[in-house]
Amino acid sequence: MPDLLRRPFGTHGEVHRITPSDAGWRYVGFSLWHLRAGESAAGATGSDEVILVMVEGKAAFHAAGRDWGVLGDRLDVFEKTPPHCLYLPDGSDWRAEAESDCVIAVCSAPGKGGHQARRIGPEGITLTQRGEGTNTRFINNIAMEAEDWCDSLLVTEVFTPAGHWSSYPSHRHDEDDFPRITYLEETYYHRLNPKDGWAVQRVYTDDGSLDEVMAVKDGDVTLVPRGHHPCGAPYGFELYYLNVMAGPRRNWRFVPAPEVQYLMPK
CATH number for the domain that contains residue 126: 2.60.120.10
pLDDT at 114: 77
Sorting pLDDT into bands at 50, 70 and 90, what band is 148? Answer: confident
Q: How many domains does the chain have?
A: 1
Sorting pLDDT into bands at 50, 70 and 90, what band is 263? Answer: confident
Mind listing the pLDDT tens digit for each residue in 192-225?
999 999 999 999 999 999 999 999 999 999 999 9
- The rounded distance, in Å, linking the Cα atoms of 56 and 36 is 11
**Residue 58: domain span:** 5-263
Of all residues in the chain, the percent with pLDDT exceeding 70 is 99
Average the pLDDT over 116-121 and give the result.
Answer: 94
pLDDT at 152: 95
Residue 2 has pLDDT above 70, yes or no: no
Mind listing the pLDDT tens digit for each residue in 126-145?
999 999 999 999 999 999 99
Q: Which residues contact 27 (CB under 8 A, 6 or more apart)?
A: 20, 109, 110, 152, 185, 246, 247, 248
- The rounded distance, in Å, linking the Cα atoms of 146 and 148 is 6
pLDDT at 147: 86
- The rounded distance, in Å, linking the Cα atoms of 224 and 203 is 7
Residue 189 has pLDDT above 70, yes or no: yes
CB 145 within 8 A of CB 253: no
Mind listing the pLDDT tens digit for each residue in 7-23?
999 999 999 999 999 99
Residue 96 has pLDDT above 90, yes or no: yes
pLDDT at 18: 97
Sheet containing 40-44, strands listed edge to edge, beginning at the edge strand earlier in sequence: 40-44, 93-98, 59-63, 66-71
Sorting pLDDT into bands at 50, 70 and 90, what band is 265? Answer: confident
